[in-house]
Each structure stands twice: as C-alpha cells, then as structure tokens.
Amino acid sequence: MRKALLELRLHAENKGFSLRAGEQVVLRHSPLCPAVVMACGQPTVAMYRGNFAISDAPTGEIAPTAWQEIDGGIELLDAELSDGGRPVARLTFSGTGLEVRSLLPGHDRLHVRFHAEPGECVWGGGEQMSYLALNGRKFPIWTSEPGVGRDKSTELTRIMDAEGMAGGDYWNTNYPQPTFLTSRWLAIHLDASCYSVLDFTQDDSHLVEVWSNTARFEIFAADGPQDLVGQLSTRFGRQPELPDWAIGGAIVGLKSGASSFDRLEQFIAAGAAVSGLWCEDWAGIRETTFGRRLFWDWHSGARSAQRYPDLRAKIRQLEARDIRFLAYANPYIAVDGDLYDEARSGGHFCLNQTSDEVHLVDFGEFDCGVVDFTRPETRAWFAERVLGREMLDIGISGWMADFGEYLPTDLRLADGSDPMEAHNRWPVLWAEVNAMALASRGKTGDALFFMRAGFSGVQGFCPLLWAGDQSVDFTRHDGIGTVVTGALSAGLVGNAYSHSDCGGYTSLHGNVRTAELMQRWCELAAFAPVMRSHEGNRPDDNLQYDSTPELLACFAAWSRVHAHLAPYVRHLCQEASASGLPAQRPLFLHYPQEPALFTVQDQFLYGADLLVAPVIEEGARHRQVVLPGTGPWRHCWSGEDFAPGTHDIPAPIGQPPVFFRPDSAFAPLFEGIKGALAE
C-alpha cells in the first residue's frame, strides 16, 4: 500500500483545481466542468409492499465556477470574486476525507463530480445483481425489494409492475451501498444513509448525487485490488469465520411442518452430507395469493407447537447427530400475532406521523407493525425476548434474518430521525440486533444468521449474506446467474461470505422450476461457503429436491462435494479474517494486469486456486471459459491441463466447468472432487 496516496492535496490548474491522492486525480474542477452542482429538491416517494417509486423535481440549480482557497479547503462562488461573487458551497479535506457542504438554505441536492480516466472500470454499489462493472449506468442507492423479473422488456416484469410496482429494474437491490472502486485502484465511499445515486454514464467523471446539504466522502487508494478490498473490509468490519458445521455439509430447507423431519431422513438415506435442517415455517404459516407465507409472530407458542410438535426434543435429537436446526425471523410483527400486544404496550413499534397509533404496513393480505430499532430499549427487547428466549434458548442454531428494506418514509421514529435518512440504515440496525442476540448467549461464530438486506456497516454485524429471492429460471436479470454477480459485487465492499436459495425462490404466473434448473443450481451452490436449499414461495407447484429419485441423488452428490471442500473453505475463512478477501472473487482480483477480466461476471475464483464457471444458460452443454494468468489450469473432471486463455469447455449436466491450479497446496483435495461427486 502506498502511504503517500492516503492524503488529499490541492493543486491549482488554470482557472480550476484538482484534488489528488499522490499522483492520482480524485476530483477536478474547471469553469467548463464544475465539480459541484447544487439544487433544491422536491421529492416524491411512494411505497407498496417494499417496492419504491422515487422521483425528484429539483429547482434553483447552481453550478458555481469560481473558487477561492480558504483555511482547510475551498469555497465555490456563484460568480467571479471580482464581481462580488458569494460563497455557495464549501469543500474541506483532511487526510483521506472530503466534505462538500451547501452554504445556501434549501439547497439540499448535491451533485459531486469525481474525476475519471478514459477506459477506467468501476465496480461496487453494494450487492448488484445485474452488472458487476457499473460503467454506463446509474445506480440509485436505496434498499428495497429487487423486483420480480427486473427487466422491463419481459412480460413477467410488466405484469408485476402492473400488479404493484413489483417488477423492478437492473439497479434494484436489497443491499445497495454508496461505495465504488475503480481500476486506478481508488475507492470512494459516501458516508451517509440518505438517498443517493451513483452515476457512471459519463466517460470523464463519476457523479454522485446526494439528497442532503452535506456529503462526506472517504477516499481509499492502493497498489492493487486486493489491498483496496482489504482496506474497505477493515473500514466496514469483518465477519467472524463461519462455523465448521455450516461449511461441512448442506442445510436442507423444508417447510412441511412435522413431516420435514421424515423428509430429511430421505436426504440422508440418499447419501447427502447434511449439516442442518432449515424450517422457516417453525412459527406457523398463512396462505395468501402470493403463495405459502409465514405467520409473522416469532415464538414457539401454540402455532409453532401445532406445526412442529415437541420441537425442542426434535432439535436435541438432531443435534445429537451433528445436525443443526435453523429457523426464520424478521423485524415485523403481525397484528393477529401473540407478540403484537406485548410489543405495542412496550412502545416497540414505529408510530403514525400524526397520532400515537402504531403505523401498520400491508405485507400482502396481512398487516404488521414495524419494530422501532432506533430505540435502544427495543433493540434489547427484540434481541432478548424474541431471538434469545424464543429461538436460541430452545436450541435453534441459526435463522434467516429476513427483510430490513421495508421501512416506510411516512412514519414516526422514536429517536426523531427522518425516515428518509433512516431507511437505508434499517438493515444495519436489524443486523446489529441479531448480532446482539448471538453475543448474549455466547454464540457468535457458532450460531449463524443470514440476511439479504444491507447497507454500509452491515458487514460488521452480519456473518453471512444470501442473494435474495431469485426467480426460478435462467433469466438474465433475475435468474440463477444473478447469484454470481451478487456475490462478487458484495465481496468487493467487505462481505466475505454469500450464498443463495438453491433451486431459486420466486414462482409466479406459471413460472416454475425445471429439473435442469434444480440440477444446475446444485452445481453452483456446492461452490459457495454455505449450501442451502429452499422450497420457494409456491412449494406445492414446484419441483423439490425430494420430488424424484434423480433430483434427490443430484442434491446428495453436490452436498458431498460441498462437504469435501470444507478444509479449503476453512482456509478461505482464515484468509477473510486476516485480509478481508471474500471467498468468491472476480477474476481481476488476482489478475489485475488483465483488463479483459474487469467485466467478467459469469465465472469466479473460489479463493485463489479454484475457478468455477457455472452453467447459467438454459439448455447449454458447452460454455466459454476464461482461464487467467500465465500457468496451466487443470480440469476437475478430465484431469487435462489447459493453458491460459479462452476455451470452449464441454459442460454436460453434472460436470460444470471447474478448474484448479495444479501447483496449489490443495491440489490433492481438488483431485478428490470427482470422487466425492460419484460416491
């Protein structure tokens, strides 16, 4: 790491100036291209079931061109100083920090233009599902439902948009983050939770739009991508190493009540390596037009006992066989649930803006109160009363910590903060509550929760991401391939571990799983740190892994591959703890000297020594694979060595292109993958 790059310095240039980190230009201002533009915002925000429509009609735009140096920074003027120009914005910088502040009342929109070089590639933005390289597009930073389809050209997306703004677009994500990295090995982070937009549509600039009168940026610089990713991981917090049980076999997701235990035995009899049983319906279910939903009342009471009789004893029996039991929770409580009155009387809900009534949100044919995590007493209550006593204390070893992205903007928070500012922070507060629960029982690093929602800082609390609710298909913007893009993009901003719903989740309007999709998803899931299946939102309409002997054998085989790789995954966990490098990595992270790799998002390095090119196109039996570097790569299935370059590789079902470095210390382990699959 070049220490000289870590301090911003001012350089006068003609009638403008630049801010530089060492020799790298970070921001440049000139009369023809002002570094800052200001305006007065007039926003419109609408939400329906976690889907947001946000627009703005700003007025009073000012693009100051003149400037003067002041102590610790720069003032931008709305006219030449000789003509009586007044200061309208101030830039202050110290060390690696830059603050931009509007000096005019009401001007609460800032457009800050960072310098870009020709051909510079950009990544980041949190967990982006459609594009790894962000060049040429805008990315609003607002946590929300990603949408179903996420492609305005498709019929499914059009139907979902018409039904409730639910189709989504390429930039919609559960986990946005206002951080971007560039191929000059710089990273820029907006230290704010307000609505913002990362705009990479111009070749000569990286524009950040901030809905505030103040924007604070942090600048990171390094000699290469690994150090840059490590710096970001240090900044946002590193996850504990995954527990042995979570990486040593598959977590089987079943939600058919007590029969889930009997069905699990079929997986075990088929030869599956099983580390956990995940029953998200542990607290009860309700049927809706969307499909089978959970009863949002997180305790082991009557509904739980009816669906899972004698659950505590069942959990103990599984644990005696080294199989953990996992459940589900989210930060909302249904009005018809048993916990609702307790939460309301304790002051634990967000309120209406004009009354002390609980603010209710329609989650799809049932209403819920929003647990108010801005209140310390409420965070402690949920961590202890719900996650502690109702879940951890009965032996539950982990759960899906769902949602976090739904906070409406028209409610009242206990700490008096603006919901527009709190909305993006909500997943971080939710993660903190879950981490508090684990710590209270001494379970950090043993019990495991996983989240789909996130924002800057979630890394320090959430031990594992999952990629959200993909459609059960191969579509470009919402199918199996988005799992890869999501893991790679999130990993660049400090999230070491990601996984997905093996088999996909969302099944609507006749879109159902095929056997091919189920098989290909197993092939992909085996090369993630955690392998976990899901029955989806419409389990009765879709194939399950125990629907046929062939699918059961497929899942069992790839679960053995996943378990076989546990020693290597432990090595990756140790690397993540020490350096912040994610388990699944874009190719350029180890081969930055090859610019052609900057946009590759359909294959990944699993650590430094394995290369995985999953089949994510329906019907494909071959695929192009890029092998980077200068040394050979060995094909897992044939044992043949391939030279670096692009190759057309056979990829029949059951043999996705997987390669390893023959000189790896783990080469003997990798040689055994074929045998583990065939056992």
Count Cβ atoms below 10 Å from residue 46 Cβ, excluding itself: 12
State yes or no: is 78 an active-site residue: no
DSSP line for 516-539? HHHHHHHHHHTTSSSEEE---S-G
How many angstroms separate the Cα of 387 from the Cα of each of 70, 204, 246, 346? 52, 49, 19, 17
How many angstroms separate the Cα of 108 from the Cα of each of 101, 210, 279, 658? 9, 8, 46, 51
Catalytic residue among 402, 432, 473, 609: 402
How does strand 658-660 pair with strand 633-635? antiparallel
Cα 234 from Cα 255, distance rounded (Å):
38
Give me the helix-helix angle, 566-579 and 225-236, nearest 10°. Answer: 80
Catalytic residue among 297, 469, 602, 609: 469
State yes or no: is 405 an active-site residue: yes
Catalytic residue among 161, 280, 372, 405: 405
Would you state the structure tokens that stand for residue 104, as one six-digit string?
């005019």
Would you state the structure tokens that stand for residue 556, as one six-digit string?
């069992």
Nearest to 343 by CA among 249, 252, 414, 279: 414
Residue 440 contacts by C-beta under 8 Å, 6 or more apart in sequence? 383, 384, 388
Sign of the CA dihedral with 127 first, then 129, 135, and 138 last:
negative
Q: Which residues of 361-385 are buried (b: 16+ CB within 10 A; e: fewer)?
A: bebeebbbbbbbbbbeebbebbbbb
User: How many angstroms separate the most distant Cα atoms in the chain?
Assistant: 85
Strands (E), 249-372: 250-253, 274-278, 285-288, 291-294, 324-329, 332-334, 351-352, 360-362, 367-370
Sign of the CA dihedral with 476 first, then 478, 483, and 486 last:
positive
Give me Rg for the CA atoms of the chain.
Answer: 25
Residue 377 contacts by C-beta under 8 Å, 6 or more apart in sequence? 346, 347, 348
Would you state the structure tokens that stand for residue 195, as one six-digit string?
């609505």
- The residue type found at 661 is R
Cα 396 from Cα 308, distance rounded (Å):
13
How many angstroms separate the Cα of 566 from the Cα of each of 58, 373, 534? 53, 36, 22
Nearest to 247 by CA among 561, 667, 553: 561
The answer to whether 284 touches 336, Cβ cutoff 8 Å, is: no
Cα 506 from Cα 513, distance rounded (Å):
10
Residue 607 contacts by C-beta under 8 Å, 6 or more apart in sequence? 568, 571, 572, 575, 583, 585
How does strand 501-502 pair with strand 531-533? parallel
How many angstroms separate the Cα of 482 from the Cα of each of 13, 85, 171? 44, 50, 12
Residue 53's beta-bridge partner residues? 46
DSSP line for 215-234? EEEEEEE-SSHHHHHHHHHH
CA 195-201-206 angle, to 5 degrees, is 65
Cα 253 from Cα 260, distance rounded (Å):
9
Cα 331 from Cα 404, distance rounded (Å):
7
Cα 390 from Cα 396, distance rounded (Å):
9
List the catalytic residues. 402, 405, 469
